[in-house]
Each structure stands twice: as C-alpha cells, then as structure tokens.
Amino acid sequence: MKSLIRNFLINLGALWIVTQIIPAITITGGTEGLFIGALSFMAANLVLVPILKLLLLPLNLLTLGLFAWFANVLALFFLVNVVPYFKLSPYHFPGTQYQGFTIPAADLTVFQSVLIASFMLGFIIHFLKWLSK
C-alpha cells in the first residue's frame, strides 16, 4: 500500500512539473484533473507499460535498448486519450540561447510534443523514485 501511494505521489509530481514546463500539455480540470490523470498514468505504468515492453522486446533487443522509451510514449498517449482533463496541442518553441549555445525556434507537432513530454516524464519519475529510496 505504501508503494502505491509513493508511486501515485511521484506520478502526480512528475505530471505537474511537465505540465508547467511544456505548454503543449494542458490540464483543464484543475487539481481534480491532475489527481485523476496521476491515477490513470500510474495504472498505465503498472499495467500497460510492462505488457508493451514485452510486446516490443524484439525491437528493443534489435536497437540495443533504444526502443524502450516507446512504451512510455504510448502510455502518455493513452493518458491523453482516456482522461478528458488532459489535452495535447502543437507547440511553438521560441528557441533559447545560453552562453553561446543556441537552440533555434521550432514548431513541434503533437507527436513531437508527446515524445518530449514522455522523455521528461520518464526522467523525472526515475529521478523521484531514486530520491525516495
């Protein structure tokens, strides 16, 4: 029971952080939408992702593990399609520059936004799980 609550809180925090960083993902239901989204994303990570990783095992072996993130992309896509409080939209990245390092402006499609959000969610969730050990 304690691990389920910890997973729920980690997913809740990660979803909130990603929606604050990436404007392409919006929550329309306020805290209720965030709680329902975290619960749905936790359920997808506990049930859907292991099944997808098993189905994608040949591709994952063929690409030496680079295809493992695709299960997380599908879980986030599942969240957006099942929970009505989460919306995805195309995003215009205005670009940035820091100490001579420049990232140019880009127009991201919905799929590219899901890829970036999935990468960030995975990174934040793994980091928070590492912190909670």
Per-residue pLDDT at 2:
85
CA dihedral (73, 75, 77, 83) positive or negative: negative
What is the domain count for the chain? Answer: 1
Per-residue pLDDT at 16:
92
Q: Is residue 97 situated within a structural domain?
A: no
Q: Is residue 120 situated within a structural domain?
A: yes
Q: Is residue 48 situated within a structural domain?
A: yes
Domain of 56 in residue numbering reads as 17-92+102-132
The one-digit pLDDT tens for each residue of the chain (133 residues) are 888 899 999 999 999 999 998 888 888 888 898 999 899 989 988 898 889 888 888 888 888 887 778 888 888 888 888 888 888 889 888 888 888 889 898 898 988 888 888 889 989 999 999 998 7
Pick from 120, 113, 130: which is nearest to 23 by CA? 113
pTM beyond 0.95, yes or no:
no
Per-residue pLDDT at 67:
77
Q: Is residue 11 situated within a structural domain?
A: no
Q: Is residue 12 situated within a structural domain?
A: no
Q: Supply the DSSP string of 73-105, one letter for each residue.
A: HHHHHHHHHH-TTEEE--EEE--EEETTEEE--
Q: Is residue 108 situated within a structural domain?
A: yes
Q: Is residue 126 situated within a structural domain?
A: yes
Q: Is residue 5 situated within a structural domain?
A: no
